[in-house]
């Protein structure tokens, strides 16, 4: 781990351990915006790891951002921090300035499009996007659309949308935003950005959040297994429990590797394959991991009172957001089949 | 808290240059190999091939040059291993020695043993077998009963080893014997020896596996003599050494690539434009494969950095064998073609071979249950 990452890791761990309390998590689920936490996160320079220092960011890499995003997952942080990181990176990729405050990206659903149109002497945004993460809380929305055959990144004020509130399983905001001729505050083409940049990078950060979440539930379940006693001994001494936790450990390890590798690929500016791999592999790990963690915890883990559910409900939602395992596996399978069996190993070995 | 940690591995340019060389060599050597032959990989025993690998400097390649090694990095070795396995090369005449017997001798052997065996191993001339399991001692290895008693100039051995792969065609076996009998301290009093399987008093009986193939053996020792000079390490240090040896065994990339040949046949079968279900199946397998490769590379990176990734290696082996074991099942579920022995299409034959080998993936080198026990210990549960 390089120095910046070590520092980031210390900062996020300390901040999230102190500030993401049970009260805060519950209040967020009730719809309260954790403004003080956001401010602390922003002041600590965690929201813009990929933005150059000259533009007010940390000037880091995706590898650095991984530390923040996976920690956000590990601590089930109820903020649009991964979304802000992606949105700010998209703005930078197009050479645009990054506003302060929480950002989000849209659209996130496969078949939706938000259209950039030239009207009344300016660029405007039309269309409806459902399940936009933290749509109600974001100050701005970053959109990628094609204009003149090029991927164009555009910034609009979230206030320019009609918002219909909804949430995911963990009661994180997932709102419908309807734009009708909303004025675009800034826009520019981004060379080399794929047209599906929003979904791709959305999948990328969800994979890292899930990898963090898996670490968290492994730690929770392992600790519980050493504390909970039945039949006169800690349940962690029963072999069935040990074997289950070993399986969970394997999935957590695989998830961390797949997600970190996808962030490394993003630093190479070629993240499609590794992101598809990560979203498919980590999503599977999330399902199996959550199931084992709950089994080990017994009934107490099935209560709202216990903190396990703050993570597992997120895992169940995150695995579906920005494309679930089957969608990414299908895309991956098609690309592999098209290249043919002969190229599979050379391709893998070159990554 | 979890006590394992995986960092992304990175291959240096020298390793990538080597990869091209290895690939070229394998292409020339294996161009006539059918998919079913490639699926056999470390079931394939071919001394000629092993000697060629040795001549290239690709056996014992991290060892000191004075023992016939090339002092290459662990990452360069990793590249040779993964390319060789991915190509399905017949590696078993040098594999065991390169992976565990050689490193064991390098670490615990006498100077004379190193001089005598390591250069020959590195040339690809010496095949090794592993004599650990016994009829009454499988997972509970420390309970072995084959006895080595001190006699003039060496030891007299009595007992039986079993499942000894390739003992009938190997030049040497590294065997674990009991040199002291104290039921209360079964981990003590174990000692490792270099055994020449052709010596008097040793009978090798074939055991035929479920496919009808012969690689397993039962090796019976009846007053067999093993010279003092062939003892590996101190008397009584056998348990510690064997644990180290098993860690060598688990640390390589071989524990997830066994079913690669079948994945390749599956991709050929579904064609360039697969249906949605087939695409999803292929994609999922590739997602697992790509992730396991990164995990495996990560372990190689830790070895290169001089760390001791025993726990990480156990994790990779467990995840890897689970994966390679489920591949035949998944292919069956998708395609439903009948697995065959040596008739039918390449796909059918590869499926037939792997369907029948898959049960062994989670047995050899420590069963799944034992491995998960090691992981649980790493998690602090035992
Ligand atoms: C293809 C192949 C090649 C092999 N080659 C060699 C070789 O060259 N040299 C050699 O020495 N050995 C070799 N072996 C033997 C191998 O090391 C043993 O099979 C292995 O150690 C398990 O021992 P066992 O087969 O006696 O099973 P057992 O130990 O009897 O186990 C049977 C079942 O019980 C389970 N079990 C046992 N103990 C426990 C426990 N404490 N908790 C939970 N479950 C438990 C096991 O996991 C397994 O599922 C080979 C095996 C195979 C399949």
Contact A258 B264 (CB under 8 A): no
Average pLDDT on B364-378 reads 95
pLDDT digits (tens, 9 = 90+) for B202-226: 999 999 999 999 999 999 999 999 9
Question: Distance between CA atoms of A57 and A100, rounded to whole angstroms?
Answer: 10
pLDDT > 70 in chain A, percent: 100
Model pLDDT, residue B181: 85
Q: How many CB atoms lie within 10 A of CB B150?
A: 11
What is the whole-number distance in angstroms between the Cα of residue B364 and the centre of ligand 1?
6
pLDDT > 90 in chain A, percent: 95
Q: List C-alpha distances in Å: A56 to A7, A36, A100.
A: 18, 20, 9
Average pLDDT on B339-367 reads 96
CATH of domain A197-350: 1.20.140.10
Of B19, B279, B373, the CB nearest to A337: B279
Please work out, in degrees rounded to the nearest 5, the angle formed at the alpha carbon of residue A255 by the alpha carbons of A249 and A260: 130
Pocket test for ligand 1, best of B133, B190, B354 (most atoms within 8 A of CB): B133
Model pLDDT, residue B9: 93
pLDDT digits (tens, 9 = 90+) for A235-273: 999 999 999 999 999 999 999 999 999 999 999 999 999
Closest CA to B286 of B247, B260, B310, B312: B260
Partners of B381 on chain A (C-beta within 8 Å) are: 222, 225-226, 236-237, 241-242, 245
Token pair 């961390």: residue: A256
Partners of B288 on chain A (C-beta within 8 Å) are: 254, 281
CB A108 within 8 A of CB A132: yes
Q: Where in chain B is the domain with CATH 1.10.540.10?
A: 13-126
Contact A341 B284 (CB under 8 A): no
Cα B165 to the center of its chain, rounded Å: 11
Q: Where in chain A is the domain with CATH 1.20.140.10?
A: 197-350
Higher pLDDT residue, A135 or B43?
A135
Question: Distance between CA atoms of B273 and A336, rounded to whole angstroms?
Answer: 10
C-alpha neighbours within 13 Å on the C-beta side of residue B265: 29
CB A58 within 8 A of CB A99: no
Exposure string (b/e) for B214-238, b if CB count within 10 Å is 16 or more? ebbbbbbbeebbbeeebbbbeeebb
Model pLDDT, residue A4: 82
Closest CA to A73 of A199, A204, A170, A215: A215
Q: Where in chain B is the domain with CATH 1.20.140.10?
A: 251-378
Is CATH 2.40.110.10 what the domain over A3-189 is classified as, yes or no? yes
Nearest Cα of chain B lies from the Cα of A263 at a distance, in angstroms, of 11
Model pLDDT, residue A149: 84
pLDDT > 90 in chain B, percent: 91
Token pair 């050689």: residue: B102
Question: Distance between CA atoms of A245 and B370, rounded to whole angstroms?
Answer: 14
| Protein residues with CB under 6 Å of any ligand 1 atom | A 239; B 129-133, 138-139, 163-165, 360, 363-364, 367, 369-370
Closest CA to B106 of B88, B119, B93: B119
pLDDT digits (tens, 9 = 90+) for A40-65: 999 999 999 999 999 999 999 999 99
Closest CA to A288 of B295, B314, B288, B332: B288
- Please check the confidence at residue B3 and state whether its pLDDT lies above 80: no
Partners of B293 on chain A (C-beta within 8 Å) are: 348-349
3-state SS class at B137: strand
Partners of B371 on chain A (C-beta within 8 Å) are: 246
CB B166 within 8 A of CB B160: no
Question: Distance between CA atoms of B214 and B207, rounded to whole angstroms?
Answer: 6
Q: Where in chain A is the domain with CATH 2.40.110.10?
A: 3-189
Q: Indicate the average pLDDT of chain B.
A: 95
Please work out, in degrees rounded to the nearest 5, the angle formed at the alpha carbon of residue A294 by the alpha carbons of A288 and A298: 150
- Please check the confidence at residue B42 and state whether its pLDDT lies above 90: no
**Ligand 1 atom index nearest CA of B367:** 47
User: Encoding tokens for residue A24?
Assistant: 């805060």
Helix (H) or strand (E) run with residue A10 in it: helix A3-19
Q: Which residues contact A95 (CB under 8 A, 6 or more apart)?
A: A188, A190
Helix A272-297 / helix B276-304 crossing angle, nearest 10 deg: 80
Q: How many CB atoms lie within 10 A of CB A235?
A: 20
Q: How many CB atoms lie within 10 A of CB B169?
A: 17
Go through chain B and tell me how many residues it has: 382
Phi, psi of B49 (to 5 degrees): -60, -45
Phi, psi of B259 (to 5 degrees): -105, 10
Confidence of residue A121 (pLDDT cuts 50, 70, 90): confident
Of A239, A250, A260, the CB nearest to B319: A250
What CA dihedral angle connects A295, B360, A343 and A260, to 10 degrees?
30
CB B373 within 8 A of CB A241: no
CB B11 within 8 A of CB B253: no
Q: List C-alpha distances in Å: A115 to A135, A149, A187, B117, B319.
A: 18, 13, 13, 72, 44
Phi, psi of A200 (to 5 degrees): -60, -50
- Please check the confidence at residue B97 and state whether its pLDDT lies above 70: yes
Nearest Cα of chain A lies from the Cα of B229 at a distance, in angstroms, of 42
Nearest Cα of chain B lies from the Cα of A322 at a distance, in angstroms, of 17
Helix (H) or strand (E) run with residue B277 in it: helix B276-304
Question: Distance between CA atoms of B238 and B189, rounded to whole angstroms?
Answer: 8
Say which CATH superfamily domain B130-236 falls into: Butyryl-CoA Dehydrogenase, subunit A, domain 2 (2.40.110.10)
Model pLDDT, residue B247: 80
DSSP letter for B165, please.
T
pLDDT digits (tens, 9 = 90+) for A145-177: 988 889 999 999 999 999 999 999 999 999 999
Confidence of residue B2 (pLDDT cuts 50, 70, 90): low
Model pLDDT, residue A56: 92
Q: How many CB atoms lie within 10 A of CB A40?
A: 15
Question: Distance between CA atoms of A147 and A188, rounded to whole angstroms?
Answer: 10
Q: How many CB atoms lie within 10 A of CB A43?
A: 10
DSSP B30-70: HTT--HHHHHHGGG---HHHHHHHHHTT-SSTTS-GGGT--
Q: Indicate the average pLDDT of chain A.
A: 96
Average pLDDT on A289-310 reads 98
Average pLDDT on B340-362 reads 97
Is CATH 3.40.50.720 what the domain over B13-126 is classified as, yes or no? no
Model pLDDT, residue A96: 97
Give start and end residues of each alpha helix (H) in A20-116. Answer: 22-29, 35-43, 62-74, 81-93
Token pair 């020792």: residue: B221
Q: List C-alpha distances in Å: A86 to A17, A49, A90, A141, B199.
A: 24, 10, 6, 11, 69
What CA dihedral angle connects B315, B320, B325 and B329, to 10 degrees?
110
Q: How many CB atoms lie within 10 A of CB B329?
A: 12
Model pLDDT, residue B43: 86
Model pLDDT, residue A1: 63
Is CATH 1.20.140.10 what the domain over B251-378 is classified as, yes or no? yes
Of B287, B298, B381, the CB nearest to A277: B287
Contact B379 A249 (CB under 8 A): yes
Q: Which residues contact B320 (CB under 8 A, 6 or more apart)?
A: B255, B256, B292, B295, B296
Lowest-confidence segment of A202-211, B3-12, B194-203 by average pLDDT = B3-12
Q: List C-alpha distances in Å: A154 to A23, A71, A270, B56.
A: 36, 28, 22, 57
DSSP B307-333: ---HHHHHHHHHHHHHHHHHHHHHHHH
Confidence of residue A2 (pLDDT cuts 50, 70, 90): confident
Question: Distance between CA atoms of B61 and B63, rounded to whole angstroms?
Answer: 6
Question: Distance between CA atoms of A198 and A194, rounded to whole angstroms?
Answer: 9
Go through chain A and tell me how many residues it has: 351
Q: Is B342 exposed, middle or buried (0-12, 13-18, 19+ CB in 10 A)?
A: exposed
Token pair 């099935």: residue: A302
User: What is the biggest distance separating any 2 CA atoms in chain B, rounded to whole angstroms?
Assistant: 72
Average pLDDT on A73-78 reads 98
Model pLDDT, residue B307: 87
CB A194 within 8 A of CB A200: yes
């Amino acid at each position: 781990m390089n120095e910046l990452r070590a520092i980031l890791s210390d900062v996020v761990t300390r901040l999230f351990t102190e500030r993401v309390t049970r009260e805060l998590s519950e209040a967020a689920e009730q719809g309260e915006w954790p403004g003080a936490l956001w401010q602390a996160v922003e002041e600590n320079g965690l929201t813009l790891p990929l933005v150059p220092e000259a533009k007010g960011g940390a000037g880091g890499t995706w590898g650095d951002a991984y530390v923040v995003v996976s920690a956000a997952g590990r601590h089930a942080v109820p903020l649009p921090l991964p979304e802000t990181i992606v949105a700010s990176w998209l703005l930078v990729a197009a050479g645009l300035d990054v506003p302060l405050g929480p950002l989000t990206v849209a659209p996130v659903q496969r078949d939706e499009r938000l259209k950039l149109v030239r009207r009344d002497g300016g660029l405007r945004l039309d269309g409806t996007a459902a399940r936009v993460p933290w749509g109600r809380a974001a100050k701005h929305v970053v959109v990628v659309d094609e204009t003149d055959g090029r991927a164009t990144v555009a910034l609009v004020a979230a206030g320019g949308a009609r918002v219909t509130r909804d949430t995911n399983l963990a009661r994180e905001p997932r709102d419908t935003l309807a734009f009708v001729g909303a004025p675009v505050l800034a826009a520019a083409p981004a060379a080399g950005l794929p047209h599906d940049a929003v979904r791709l990078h959305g999948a990328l950060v969800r994979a890292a959040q899930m990898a963090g979440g898996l670490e968290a539930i492994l730690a929770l379940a392992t600790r519980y297994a050493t504390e909970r006693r039945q039949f006169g001994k800690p349940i962690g001494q029963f072999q069935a429990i040990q074997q289950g936790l070993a399986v969970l450990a394997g999935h957590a390890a695989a998830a961390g590797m797949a997600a970190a590798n996808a962030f490394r690929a993003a630093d190479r500016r070629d993240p499609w394959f590794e992101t598809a791999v990560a979203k498919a592999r980590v999503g599977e790990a999330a399902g199996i991991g959550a199931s084992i963690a709950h089994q080990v915890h017994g009934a107490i883990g099935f209560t709202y009172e216990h903190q396990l559910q703050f993570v597992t409900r997120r895992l169940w939602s995150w695995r579906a957001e920005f494309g679930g395992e089957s969608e990414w596996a299908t895309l991956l399978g098609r690309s592999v089949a098209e290249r043919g069996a002969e190229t599979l190993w050379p391709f893998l070995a070159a990554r | 808290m979890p006590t394992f940690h995986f960092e992304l591995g990175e291959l240096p340019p020298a390793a990538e240059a080597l990869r091209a060389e290895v690939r070229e060599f394998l292409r020339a050597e294996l161009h006539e190999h059918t998919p079913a032959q490639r699926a056999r990989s470390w079931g394939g025993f071919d001394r000629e091939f092993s000697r060629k690998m040795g001549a290239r400097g690709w056996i014992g390649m991290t060892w000191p040059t004075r023992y016939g090694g090339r002092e290459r990095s662990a990452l360069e070795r990793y590249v040779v291993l993964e390319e060789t396995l991915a190509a399905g090369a017949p590696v078993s005449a040098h594999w065991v020695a390169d992976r565990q017997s050689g490193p064991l001798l390098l670490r615990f052997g006498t100077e004379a043993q190193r001089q005598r065996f390591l250069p020959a191993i590195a040339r690809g001339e010496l095949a090794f077998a592993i004599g650990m399991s016994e009829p009454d001692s499988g997972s509970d290895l420390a309970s072995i009963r084959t006895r080595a008693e001190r006699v003039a100039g060496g030891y007299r051995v009595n007992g039986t080893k079993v499942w000894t792969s390739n003992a009938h065609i190997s030049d040497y076996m590294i065997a674990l014997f009991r040199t002291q009998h104290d039921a209360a301290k079964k981990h003590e009093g174990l000692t490792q020896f270099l055994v020449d399987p052709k010596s008097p008093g040793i009978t090798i009986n074939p055991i035929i596996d479920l496919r009808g193939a012969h690689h397993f053996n039962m090796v019976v020792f009846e007053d067999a003599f093993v010279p003092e000079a062939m003892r590996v390490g101190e008397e009584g240090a056998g348990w510690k050494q064997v644990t180290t040896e098993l860690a060598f065994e688990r640390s390589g990339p071989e524990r997830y690539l066994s079913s690669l040949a079948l994945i390749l046949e599956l991709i050929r079968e579904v064609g360039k434009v697969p249906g949605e279900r087939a695409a999803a199946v292929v994609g999922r397998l590739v997602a697992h494969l790509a992730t396991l490769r990164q995990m495996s590379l990560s372990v190689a990176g830790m070895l290169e950095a001089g760390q001791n990734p025993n726990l990480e290696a156990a994790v990779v082996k467990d995840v890897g064998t689970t994966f390679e074991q489920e591949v035949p099942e998944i292919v069956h579920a998708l395609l439903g073609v009948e697995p065959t022995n040596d008739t039918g299409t390449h796909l059918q034959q590869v499926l037939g071979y792997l369907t029948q080998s898959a049960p062994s993936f989670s047995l050899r080198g420590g069963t799944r249950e034992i491995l998960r026990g090691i992981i649980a210990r790493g998690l602090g549960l035992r």
